[in-house]
């Protein structure tokens, strides 16, 4: 079904390219401009690399690197020159693109945001990371939910970012809203390699959904990202996987959303996304459609609390050099600075 990475594209196929982008070190506005130009050039490379490619995906932190710097001078807005450059690159190369920005937020810390732009240069998906990788990341928790859009050839596409993919609820929400392809962009480093691999597969299999996943790659002199471009079919089998860690490699594969739709309609055994809400339908008509999960009820009521809650040791970002927050979610405040000791 892979068609030699998309070289032999089938009529119903969508070819995805995952860019294992070299990890940058972005400190100044000049660095930001240079990295924007580099990403634009890589969009062109993706198109030249494979004429059949429908969607090119850049990792989380492709524009800003892994410094976690919240300096307002290098934060980005949707109407700024960086996003405008990405739109023009997609339009000029007639290709869909997925991009990462650290988004300015006047009411709090910046958002870690993901964008999908179509081949006419129009913004189609805008997502803010729901689960920042605490305690390391200072980003404001996302407040837009998980949008699902109609992408190339009508495929339903969702986007989550990095640590989001460690929560099975995130992939389930994508699938529940109709996603046939879920993109997961990341900046992960080597200690997460095995967790990255098996969650990419479980997110696919548990939801009968293709997952397309990619990290930053290489070193910025301090951090080492792992690349690990990985496309997984809806049955959990790996279609493409880069294990060499080669920077700027574009990992490609053809995926078939039509076969996702077919499986969701015709599978009996392991049609888990349907069966979650119709448990035991062989015994009772339509299955039990209750909600037997305590954590779901508690979370919806704002009372989520694990049995070991009072013993949890790491509950803010002070171990990573960030001041303990004083405001509650939804309240506006000037973004806190890093502690002077850092």
Tell me which of 103, 129, 137, 249 is the catalytic residue.
129
Is 129 a catalytic site residue?
yes
Nearest to 39 by CA among 77, 103, 93, 78: 93
Task: Give the residue among 174, 98, 104, 173 at the shortest CA–CA distance from 139.
Answer: 104
Catalytic pick among 90, 162, 215, 217: 162
206: exposed, middle or buried (Cβ count in 10 Å: 0-12, 13-18, 19+): middle
Tell me which of 60, 82, 140, 180 is the catalytic residue: 60
Residue closest to 55 by CA, chosen among 45, 63, 47: 47
78 DSSP assignment: T
Under 8 Å CB-to-CB from 111, ≥6 apart: which residues? 102, 103, 105, 128, 129, 139, 140, 142
Could you confirm whether 169 is annotated as catalytic? no
Q: What is the rounded radius of gyration, in angstroms, for the C-alpha atoms of the chain?
A: 20
87 given a catalytic annotation: no
* Contact in structure between 21 and 62 (CB atoms under 8 Å): yes
Catalytic residues: 60, 129, 162
């Amino acid at each position: 079904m892979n068609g030699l990475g998309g070289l032999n594209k089938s009529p119903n196929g969508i070819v995805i390219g995952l860019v294992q982008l070299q990890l940058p070190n972005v400190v100044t506005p000049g660095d930001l401009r240079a990295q924007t130009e580099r990403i634009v050039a890589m969009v062109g490379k993706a198109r030249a690399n494979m004429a059949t490619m429908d969607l090119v995906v850049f990792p989380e932190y492709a524009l800003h690197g892994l410094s976690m710097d919240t300096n307002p001078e290098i934060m980005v807005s949707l109407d700024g020159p960086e996003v405008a450059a990405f739109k023009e690159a997609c339009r000029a190369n007639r290709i869909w693109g997925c991009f990462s920005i650290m988004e300015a937020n006047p009411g709090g810390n910046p958002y870690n945001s993901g964008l999908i732009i179509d081949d006419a240069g129009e913004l189609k998906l805008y997502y803010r990371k729901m689960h920042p990788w605490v305690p390391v990341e200072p980003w404001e928790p996302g407040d837009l939910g998980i949008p699902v859009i109609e992408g190339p050839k009508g495929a339903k596409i969702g986007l989550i970012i990095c640590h989001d993919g460690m929560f099975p609820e995130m992939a389930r929400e994508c699938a529940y809203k109709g996603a046939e392809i879920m993109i997961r962009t990341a900046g992960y480093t080597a200690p997460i390699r095995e967790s990255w691999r098996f969650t990419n597969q479980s997110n696919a299999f548990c939801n009968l959904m293709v997952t397309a996943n990619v990290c930053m790659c290489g070193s910025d002199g301090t951090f080492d990202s792992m690349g690990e471009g990985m496309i997984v079919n809806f049955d959990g089998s790996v279609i493409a996987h880069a294990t060499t860690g080669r920077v700027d490699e574009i990992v490609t594969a053809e995926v078939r959303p039509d076969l996702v739709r077919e499986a969701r309609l015709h599978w009996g055994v392991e049609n888990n996304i349907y069966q979650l809400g119709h448990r035991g339908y062989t015994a009772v008509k339509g299955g039990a459609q209750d909600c037997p999960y305590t954590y779901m009820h508690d979370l919806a009521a704002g009372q989520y609390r694990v049995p070991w809650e009072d013993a949890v040791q790491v509950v803010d970002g002070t171990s990573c050099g960030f001041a303990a927050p004083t405001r509650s979610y939804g309240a506006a405040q000037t973004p806190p600075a890093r502690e002077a000791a850092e």
